[in-house]
Amino acid sequence: MSIAGGIYKALERGKSLRCRTIQIFLKNSNQWKAKAVSEEDRLLFQKTQQSSGIGPVVAHDSYLINLASPDSALYKKSLSAFIEEMERANLFGIPHLVMHPGSHMGSGVKRGIARVAKALTRALERVEPPVMILLENTAGQGNSLGCQFEQLAAILDQTKNPDRVGICLDTCHAFAAGYDIRTEDCYGETIAELDRYVGIEKIKVFHVNDSKKNLGSRVDRHFHIGKGFIGLDAFRFLVNDRRFRDIPKILETPKGEDDKFDKKNLATLRSLVASSDRRKLKQKKQLTQRRNDN
C-alpha cells in the first residue's frame, strides 16, 4: 500500500480493500534520505492501525540498499540506511522488515554472502528487538543473491543471532529462479526443498505474485494471479496449506487506477480458499483412496 500523504494512509487504503495485512515502505524507496519520524506520526500510525484491525504490517526496505556490494562506500551507506530502516520499523511497531540480499556485482557469490551476513550481524547488534529481518528470495537476475535456497541458508548460517532473521518467500521469484509450483507434486517438492535447506518455520511472510515470464527465466516480472505462467493451481495449494494459515500473504501485482487490480487479485485469491466442509470432504476422499490402494 502507498504511503503517500503519510504512512498511516497506507492503513486506510488497506482497510478500504478489506486487507487483513499490508506491506509498506517506511520512506521513499528510491531515496537515501528520509524525514525523521515524529511522535505525532508514530501515534497516528498506531491509532490508525488499531482502528483498522490490520496486522501485522510488513515493511520492505529501500531498493537502493545493497549489503552485498564490494564497493566500500556503497556498502557503508547501505548498512547505515538499513539500520535506520530497522529503527524506523521499531518506532512504528512493525515486526518484520523484508530485504533483498543484494548484488555481489561480479565479486562472486561466496564473498557476497559473507558481506550480507556480516552486515546483518552488525545491524542486529545495533538495533534491539522486536524487529525481525526477512531475507527475500530473488529471481536470479544478474548478480543478485538469494535465488537458490542454499544461498539463503548460507546467509542464515553465517549471521549471528539467527533467531531474528527469517524468510519472505516470493512465488514469482521462486518460479523465475526455476522452482516449479504449478502442480501439487511440484509445489510439495519445492516447499520440501526449502524446508531441507532453511526450515519452513523460518517463513514469516509470503509475496503472492504470478509471473509474466516462464519457469527458470530469471526475469522478475510480477503479474496478476492466475494470468501468468504460474497459473491458479499453485495459489490454491498455497492458500489452503494449513502449515501457512497464519502467515501473512502480500500481493505485489500491478495495481491499476484506484487499486482496481488489487481488488480483482484479492477476490481471486479469496475464491481459492476452500471451505472447511470442502477440505474435510477432500481429506475423506483421499483417506478412502489410500485404503483402496492398500
Stretch (H or E) spanning 81: helix 72-92
Residue 217 lies in a domain: yes
- Domain assignment of residue 51, yes or no: yes
Residue 62 pLDDT grade (very low, low, confident, very high; cuts 50, 70, 90) = very high
Domain count for the chain: 1
pLDDT for residue 257:
87
Q: What is the CATH number of the domain that holds 32?
A: 3.20.20.150
The answer to whether position 2 is within a domain reads no
The whole-number pLDDT of residue 280 equals: 55
How far is the C-alpha of 97 from the C-alpha of 23, rounded, in Å?
A: 10
For residues 109-113, average pLDDT? 98
Domain annotation covers residue 32: yes
Domain that holds residue 146: 7-293
Q: Is residue 1 part of a domain?
A: no
Of the CA atoms within 13 Å of residue 233, those in its CB half-sphere come to 10
The CA distance from 59 to 62, in Å, is 10
Q: What confidence tens digit (pLDDT) does each residue in 24-57 have?
A: 999 998 889 888 999 999 999 999 999 999 999 9
Instruction: Give the pLDDT confidence of 255-278 residue by residue, as tens digits.
Output: 988 889 999 999 999 999 996 545
pTM: 0.92
| Cβ atoms of 23 and 59 closer than 8 Å | yes
Mean of the per-residue pLDDT values of the chain? 94
- Average confidence (pLDDT) over 190-215: 98
pLDDT of residue 281: 55
5 has pLDDT over 70: yes
> What pLDDT shows up at residue 292?
67
CA nearest neighbour of 98 among 175, 16, 204: 204
- For 158-169, how does the pLDDT look when each residue is reduced to its tens digit (9 = 90+)? 999 999 999 999
- Distant-in-sequence, close-in-space partners of 202: CB < 8 Å, separation ≥ 6: 156, 165, 166, 167
Q: Using one digit for the tens of pLDDT, what is the confidence trace for 207-226? A: 999 999 999 999 999 999 99
Amino acid at 39: E
Whether 62 maps to a domain, the answer reads yes
Look at residue 7 and tell me whether its pLDDT is greater than 70: yes
Confidence of residue 283 (pLDDT cuts 50, 70, 90): low
Mean pLDDT of the 133-153 span: 97
Percentage of the chain surpassing pLDDT 90?
Answer: 89
Which pLDDT score, from 0 to 100, does residue 277 have?
Answer: 45
Per-residue pLDDT for 286 more than 60?
yes
157 inside domain: yes
